[in-house]
Chain A
Amino acid sequence: MDILKKVPVREQDAKVRATNFEEVCYGYNVREAQEEAARCLKCKNAKCMGGCPVSIDIPGFIREVEAGDFEAAANVIAEASALPAVCGRVCPQESQCEGKCIRGIKGEPISIGKLERFVADWSRENGFVPKVAAQKNGRRVAVVGSGPAGLTCAGDLAKLGYDVTIFEALHEPGGVLTYGIPEFRLPKETVVRTEIENVKKLGVRIETDVIIGKSVTIDELMEEEGYEAVFIGSGAGLPKFMGIPGENANGVFSANEYLTRSNLMKAFRDDYDTPIVAGSKVAVVGGGNVAMDAARTALRLGARVYIVYRRSEAELPARVEEVHHAKEEGVEFHLLTNPVEILTDEKGWVTGMIVRKMELGEPDESGRRRPVEVPGSDYTIEVDTVIMSLGTSPNPLISSTTEGLEINRRKCIVAEAQNGQTSRPGVFAGGDAVTGAATVILAMEAGKHGAKGIHEYLSGKSC
Chain B
Amino acid sequence: MYRILEARELAEKIFLMEVEAPRVAKACQPGEFVIVKMDEKGERIPLTICDYNRESGTVTIVFQIVGASTKRMAELKEGDAFQDFVGPLGRPSDFVSEDFEKVRGRRYLFVAGGVGTAPVYPQVKWMRAHGIEADVIVGAKTKDLLILEEEMEKVAGNLYITTDDGSYKRKGMVTEVIRDLVENQGKHYDICVAIGPMIMMKFVCLLTKELQLPTIVSMNPVMVDGTGMCGACRLSVGKEVKFACVDGPEFDGHLVDFDEAMKRQRIYKTEEGRAMLRMQEGATHHGGCGNCG
Binding site for B on A (CB under 8 A): 169-171, 179, 208-211, 214-216, 235, 237-239, 241, 243, 247-248, 250-251, 253-254, 256-257, 260-261, 265-266, 270-277, 347-348, 395-397
* Cross-chain contact of B229 among A277, A348, A395 (Cβ < 8 A): A395
Name the residue in A209, A272, A395 with the highest tally of chain B Cβ atoms < 10 Å from its Cβ: A209
A215→B228 contact, CB < 8 A: no
Binding site for A on B (CB under 8 A): 23-24, 26-27, 37, 41-44, 68-69, 72, 83-89, 224-225, 227-232, 234-236, 241, 243, 246, 260, 263-264, 266-268, 271-272, 274-275, 278
A256→B230 contact, CB < 8 A: yes
* Cross-chain contact of A215 among B24, B230, B243, B275 (Cβ < 8 A): B24
**With contact pairs A238-B231, A239-B230, A395-B228 given, residues A347 and B263 touching in the complex (Cβ less than 8 Å):** yes
Cα distance A270–B89 when bound, in Å?
A: 29
Cα distance A257–B225 when bound, in Å?
A: 9
| Minimal beta-carbon separation of A383 from chain B (angstroms) | 16
> Nearest B residue to A168 by beta-carbon distance?
B86
| Minimal beta-carbon separation of B43 from chain A (angstroms) | 5
| Minimal beta-carbon separation of B263 from chain A (angstroms) | 3
> Nearest B residue to A170 by beta-carbon distance?
B225
Looking at chain A's contact residues, the main secondary structure is loop
A237→B27 contact, CB < 8 A: no
* Cross-chain contact of A397 among B44, B228, B274 (Cβ < 8 A): B228
Cα distance A431–B138 when bound, in Å?
A: 49
Cα distance A348–B263 when bound, in Å?
A: 6
B264→A211 contact, CB < 8 A: no
| Minimal beta-carbon separation of A259 from chain B (angstroms) | 9
- Knowing that A169-B225, A395-B227 touch, tell me 13 more A-B residue pairs with CB under 8 angstroms: A210-B86, A214-B87, A215-B24, A216-B23, A216-B26, A241-B234, A247-B241, A248-B241, A257-B230, A275-B272, A277-B268, A348-B260, A348-B264
A397→B266 contact, CB < 8 A: no
| Minimal beta-carbon separation of A32 from chain B (angstroms) | 36
18 contacts between A and B (CB under 8 A): A169-B86, A169-B227, A171-B84, A171-B86, A179-B225, A208-B84, A215-B27, A238-B228, A238-B229, A239-B231, A243-B241, A250-B263, A254-B230, A254-B232, A256-B230, A273-B68, A273-B72, A275-B274
| Chain A residues closer than 8 Å to B272, beta-carbon distance | 275
* Cross-chain contact of A237 among B69, B229, B260 (Cβ < 8 A): B229
* Cross-chain contact of B44 among A171, A270, A347, A348 (Cβ < 8 A): A171
> Nearest B residue to A217 by beta-carbon distance?
B27
